[in-house]
Copies of this chain bind each other. A is one copy, B any other.
């Protein structure tokens, strides 16, 4: 079973997730620039979530470059990942609406953790149907970035009740780690091609 449709369907869902978040940016009825100030937290939460969803798309893209085949289990692991990603617009809107209050920021982090776990489950499901010396297995390696980012996010969630901005800063750090796209895969593809 090839991954063509899994990729196309995921692209569709992620494209919609990333786009409907902008619907929270309701145009003000007033024509002054000051009318946009209350929209600033909404805009910031949108930009933050855009980056996170973009990271998932980029990693998903890199990952499936080296996937040789999928099965029913992978389809469902992928759907489980999409389920958690689909909750990002909701927590983003709650953050924007409440101007980065403690509970919304904590819940945001919890959704990020669940999505990261779902991503890990999906890579496990893929590894279980690929040989130990496949490009996929070599490229994923010990998954250091995956483990460190889940750890940071797990720690960030309770810190929202100390100061929400601390959690947000930690989410941004995780984003930084990933903004460098998964070089493991690019590197492995190149080295195995040599």
Contact A79 B97 (CB under 8 A): no
Contact A1 B186 (CB under 8 A): yes
0/1 interface trace, chain A 171-189, chain B, CB 8 Å (1 if under): 0000000011111001001
Choose from B9, B87, B101 the contact partner of A14 (Cβ within 8 Å).
Answer: B9
- Check A13/B18 contact, CB under 8 A, given A5-B61, A31-B98, A103-B33: yes
Interface status of A65 (Cβ within 8 A of chain B): yes
**Number of chain copies forming the complex:** 4
Interface status of A93 (Cβ within 8 A of chain B): yes
**Which of A21-29, A120-128, A133-141, A151-159 sits within the interface?**
A21-29
Cα separation A40 to B111 with both chains bound (whole Å): 16
For residue A36, which residues in chain B have a CB less than 8 angstroms away from its CB? Answer: 107
Contact A93 B9 (CB under 8 A): no
Cα separation A186 to B62 with both chains bound (whole Å): 26
Choose from B7, B27, B72, B83 the contact partner of A181 (Cβ within 8 Å).
Answer: B72
Cα separation A25 to B47 with both chains bound (whole Å): 20
For residue A64, which residues in chain B have a CB less than 8 angstroms away from its CB? Answer: 5
Q: List 14 A-B contacts (CB under 8 A).
A: A1-B186, A9-B61, A12-B12, A17-B19, A22-B86, A22-B90, A27-B91, A28-B97, A31-B98, A31-B103, A33-B107, A58-B79, A72-B183, A76-B181
- Other than the given A25-B90, A58-B72, 8 more pairs (CB < 8 A) read A1-B189, A5-B11, A12-B15, A16-B20, A18-B86, A32-B103, A54-B79, A76-B181
Task: Give A residues with C-beta under 8 Å from B.
Answer: 1, 5-9, 11-20, 22-23, 25-33, 36, 47, 50, 54, 57-58, 61-62, 64-65, 71-72, 75-76, 79, 82-83, 86-87, 89-91, 93-94, 96-98, 101-104, 107, 179-183, 186, 189
